[in-house]
Structures are given as structure tokens and as C-alpha cells.
């Protein structure tokens, strides 16, 4: 496919969740406020107490390892000849004060999970390599915008999920040297959380893109089965390397993004056909992960239902202190609400109460809300919540 065509497809249907400045530092902790009460979710100054160290001490994890797409990419694509990049303003404007490579105005869900545990924000692996920095024992981010479950999913240069897992294998070899023996190292890995956010691009840059031929080769059901089977293989590989605690996002409601709504112009609040399509995969995922947990001794798998999470906000925005669920906050490059932010243009003034920052990615406020709900809400994270997973 041509570069321009691939970029259009990328900008239209990227992952929906697709929800301290450049140097990661340990942020303060505090308890989550009430979901429906208190100040606006967007009021997140850098020095605010978000999590209560005393209450959460028993849940602490030693490390967070992040895999997936642009929902959680913290800057790996900055070091690639990628079509999907967020290395320019107004990305990063709310919290970091400068672009970091995150596809939002501030922190991502991965950053908030780290913060919840008193950990530094997991740095991008390629950034560590470029700056010749030591691999931190507190975790690393391997996620890369445009990637999917399938190796061939994506546009431009990126780290596929297989590439990311191979990079983690290198990290395992380096980190092993920091521990006295294998037993101690295995214990460390078993307590770490592995956060995986992938699958949306397999639809947006794959199944829904005619040039790939996937929709002719597979039915909606058989494609969903393929994705679940391929994800299973990758999770088994991580398990074999020592991973035990997995938090896995399903595919977000891609029919509700400004990109989809502005391009497809449905008569309904969301494009139901897109949402129904990814629901086939989402319906399979819990049973797939449950089966894995039964087969892999000592493993814990949690589904993060970002699909439901976004539909909840769309259905009742005021409950979550969101004032606009329809429009992107930043001025988009194409001028029609279907692409990433236009470079150098200031974002909207009410970014803290917006659902979407650009045409496909949520704001920092929504990333925060996702982690907060996952921490205690069994309708979002199951069969155990994030707090239980951390303490398991």
C-alpha cells in the first residue's frame, strides 16, 4: 500500500485506547477519589497526591513491563522511521510540558499504573538503547504505535508485538545479572505486572483495510479466533520467560472515535458496525485468558474491558466529569477531525474534561479514570481487579 494510503488508514482507525518530565522519577502516591464525586478527573497537577502509600503498600509490585500499541507507547516510535509519531506539540502539553512520544496530552494508563505502585514511569526501550542507559529494575515500555497482534499488522516502521517480546528477552538477560540467583530473579518476574494493549490495529490497519485481503480470507468470527490464538502464543512466550501477572486490554470501541464518526458519518452516536465487529474478538478474550490461567501454573490473567469503559463514558459523561465525548481536543492535521494533531497548534482549553485528545486517542484524564476504575471496578477489570492482581 502507498505511504499516504497507509497513513490515512492509520489515522482513521488506530487503537481507541489507543485512556515529571522526560526523566522518569518516582511520583507521590495517594488514594483514588470517589469515581462520581470530588474534583474534576482532569485536575491532575504534577504534585497532586493520587495514591495512598499506606493503603496500597501490600499491593506493591517491583516492576511494570508494557507491550502493545499507541495507547501505551511512551516514545519508542520517536526512534523509528514511523508514520505513527507523537513527538511534537501539542502532545505532552498538559503534564510534561513537551512532547514525549505519548499519543495524548500527558500520562497514559501505563504511567498511572506505575505511579500507583510508586514506580518510575516505564521508559521506552529504544530510548534506553539510544542513550545507552542501564535497564531499570522497575520496568520498561516496549509498546509501539501501529503494531498489532499479527506480525504483519501496521504501517510504516514500528516494533511488532514479536519484536517487543524479543526486546524483552534481551532485557531479561541483562536484568538477570542484577540478582544473586535464578530463584530470586524468578520471584521478581513473578511479582511484576505485564500490561498488554493490542488488537485494535489488527482491525484498523488489517481486517478493515481492503488491500490486506483479510476480510476476504476470514469471516468476522474466524478472524477473531485467529487473533485470540496468536495472542495466546505470545502470552505463552512471555510466561516461559518468567511473566506471571498479566493485565490485557480488549479492543476499544473504535466506532466511537472522532475519526470514525467524522469519516463514516453514522446517524447513531457511534458506528455500531465497527463496534459489533471488534466485539466478536472481545467476547472471546475472557475465556481464552481463563483457559491460559488454568493451563499455566501460577499465572493470573485480567481482562481490562476498555470497550465497556468507553461506552460507559459515552452513555453518561457527566458521571465521569466529561463534557465532550464527540470531538477531538487538538486541531487535527487534515482539518476534518480524522487525523492526529496538527503540529504546533494549541489544544482546546477544556482538555481536562474531554474524552478525546486527538481523533483516536483519549486525554490524560481518561487514562487516569481507566486505571482508577480498573483498580476497583469488577465490570472493567475481571476476574479480579487491578488491586487484587498487584497483591496476588
What percent of the chain shows pLDDT beyond 70? 85
Which residues are known catalytic residues?
A: 70, 358, 361
pLDDT in tens, 126-163: 999 999 999 999 999 999 999 999 999 998 999 999 99
pLDDT in tens, 28-74: 232 332 322 222 333 333 333 445 543 555 558 999 999 999 999 99
Q: Which of 387, 378, 352, 381 lies closest to 366 in space, CA to CA? A: 352
Q: Helices (DSSP H) in the chain: which residue ranges? A: 3-13, 53-56, 109-116, 125-130, 161-176, 182-191, 200-202, 214-217, 220-240, 258-264, 272-295, 306-315, 364-376, 386-391
pLDDT in tens, 320-359: 999 999 999 999 888 888 889 999 999 999 999 999 999 9
pLDDT at 58: 56
The third-level CATH classification (topology) of the domain covering 3-7+54-391 is Rossmann fold (3.40.50)
pLDDT at 114: 95
pTM: 0.88
Cis, peptide link before residue 272, omega less than 30° from 0: no
Amino acid at each position: 500500500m502507498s505511504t499516504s494510503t497507509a497513513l490515512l488508514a492509520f489515522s482513521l482507525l488506530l487503537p481507541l485506547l489507543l485512556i515529571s518530565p522526560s526523566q522518569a522519577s518516582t511520583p507521590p502516591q495517594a488514594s483514588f477519589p470517589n469515581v462520581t464525586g470530588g474534583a474534576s478527573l482532569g485536575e491532575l497537577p504534577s504534585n497532586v497526591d493520587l495514591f495512598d502509600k499506606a493503603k496500597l503498600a501490600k499491593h506493591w509490585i517491583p516492576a511494570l513491563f508494557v507491550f502493545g500499541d499507541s495507547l501505551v507507547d511512551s516514545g519508542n516510535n520517536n526512534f523509528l522511521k514511523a508514520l505513527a509519531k507523537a513527538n511534537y506539540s501539542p502532545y505532552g502539553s498538559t503534564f510534561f510540558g513537551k512532547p514525549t512520544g505519548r499519543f495524548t496530552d500527558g500520562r497514559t494508563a501505563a504511567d498511572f499504573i506505575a505511579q500507583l505502585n510508586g514506580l518510575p514511569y516505564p521508559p521506552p526501550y529504544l530510548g534506553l538503547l539510544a542513550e545507552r542507559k542501564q535497564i531499570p529494575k522497575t520496568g520498561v515500555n516496549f509498546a509501539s504505535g501501529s503494531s498489532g497482534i499479527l506480525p504483519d499488522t501496521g504501517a510504516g516502521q514500528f516494533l511488532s508485538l514479536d519484536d517487543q517480546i524479543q526486546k524483552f528477552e534481551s532485557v531479561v538477560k541483562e536484568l538477570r545479572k542484577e540478582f544473586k540467583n535464578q530463584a530470586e530473579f524468578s520471584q521478581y518476574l513473578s511479582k511484576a505486572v505485564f500490561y498488554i494493549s493490542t488488537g485494535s490495529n489488527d482491525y484498523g490497519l488489517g481486517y478493515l483495510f481492503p488491500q490486506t485481503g483479510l476480510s476476504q480470507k476470514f469471516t468476522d468470527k474466524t478472524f477473531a479466533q485467529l487473533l485470540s490464538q496468536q495472542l495466546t502464543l505470545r502470552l505463552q512466550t512471555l510466561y516461559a520467560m518468567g511473566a506471571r501477572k498479566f493485565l490485557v486490554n480488549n479492543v476499544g470501541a473504535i466506532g466511537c472515535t472522532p475519526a470514525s464518526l467524522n469519516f463514516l458519518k453514522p446517524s447513531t452516536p457511534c458506528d455500531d458496525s465497527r463496534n459489533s465487529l471488534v466485539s466478536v474478538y472481545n467476547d472471546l478474550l475472557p475465556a481464552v485468558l481463563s483457559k491460559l490461567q488454568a493451563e499455566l501454573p501460577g499465572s493470573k490473567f485480567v481482562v481490562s474491558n476498555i470497550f465497556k469503559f468507553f461506552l460507559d463514558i459515552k452513555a453518561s459523561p457527566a458521571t465521569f466529569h466529561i463534557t465532550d465525548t464527540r470531538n477531538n481536543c487538538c486541531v487535527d492535521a487534515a482539518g476534518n477531525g480524522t487525523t492526529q494533531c496538527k503540529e504546533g497548534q494549541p489544544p482546546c482549553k477544556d482538555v481536562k474534561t474531554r474524552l478525546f485528545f486527538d481523533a483516536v486517542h483519549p486525554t490524560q484524564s481518561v487514562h487516569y479514570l481507566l486505571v482508577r476504575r480498573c483498580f476497583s471496578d469488577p465490570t472493567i477489570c475481571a476476574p479480579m481487579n487491578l488491586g487484587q492482581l498487584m497483591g496476588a
